[in-house]
Homo-oligomer: A and B are copies of this chain.
C-alpha cells in the first residue's frame, strides 16, 4: 500500500515520543518515509505548546522538520482567530506555549480579562487558582469560549492526568456558559490545515497515530488510510471492541513497523 501514499499525517504524543522519551526507532521510521519521497506533517492536539517548542523537541530527537510541517491545535486556533475574528482580543487559560503561538500569528491578547472577546482554553500544567479565577472573570464579563481540544486525560508517568476537559469543566460550571468551538483532532480545522500543507488529496494520505478517537476517526472521516500504533493510548485487547467507523486499516506495534509494511510491497 505504501506506494499509493503520497502524504503522511503523523501524531506526536504516543506515536513519536512518550513523555520525554523518543519511541524506539521513531526517528528511523520518519527518515524511511522521507527516503521514499513521502510528504510528512506532524499533527498533534497539543495546544499548550508553540510550533517553535515542538520543532525544537523534534530536532533534539534527530527528526528534521520545517516549522510549517508541524500542525498543533494551538497553531490552528491562532490561525482561526486571525482569519475569522480579526477585530477580537483574547484571554487565555493555558501554558505559555499557547500565548507564544497566538502572538506569532498576531492575535491580540487582551490587557485584562474584562476586555476579552474570547477565552481560549488549553492544557495548563502550571495552573494556579488565580489563573482559573482570571479566566472565570473573562467569561463572567462576556468572553465567549474556545478550546484548543477537549481531551479528558493524557498518559503521564503517574498514570492518567487531567487534561483540557478539566480546565473547560471548571469554567463552564462556574460561569454557566459553554465552549462553542473545539479545534483539535478529529475536527475539519486540523485536517484541512494538514491537507493545505501536504497539497495531497485525502485518498492519497495515511494517518499514523495512537488514538482511535483523534487519529483513526479523523482519517476515516476523510477517506484516508489509517494506521493505529500501540505505543500510546490504545492497547491490543481494546481492538475487538472497536466500532466499524473506528477501525484502522493497519495496526502496528510501533511506527517503526511502517518500514516492514513498506518493504513488503516495495521490494
Contacts and interface: CB of A to CB of B under 8 A. Distances in A.
Contact of A243 (B85, B142, B144): B142
A180 B150 CA distance: 8
A79 to B, nearest CB: 13
A188 B180 CA distance: 11
A84 B142 contact: no
17 contacts: A84-B192, A85-B188, A85-B221, A88-B221, A141-B243, A142-B217, A142-B243, A142-B245, A142-B246, A150-B180, A168-B178, A178-B178, A178-B179, A178-B182, A180-B182, A180-B187, A181-B187
A1 interface: no
Nearest to A168: B178
Interface of A: 84-85, 87-88, 114, 117, 141-142, 144, 150, 165, 168, 178-182, 186-188, 192, 217, 221-223, 243, 245-246
A84 B221 CA distance: 10
Q: Which of A180, A243, A246 has the most CB of B within 10 A?
A: A180
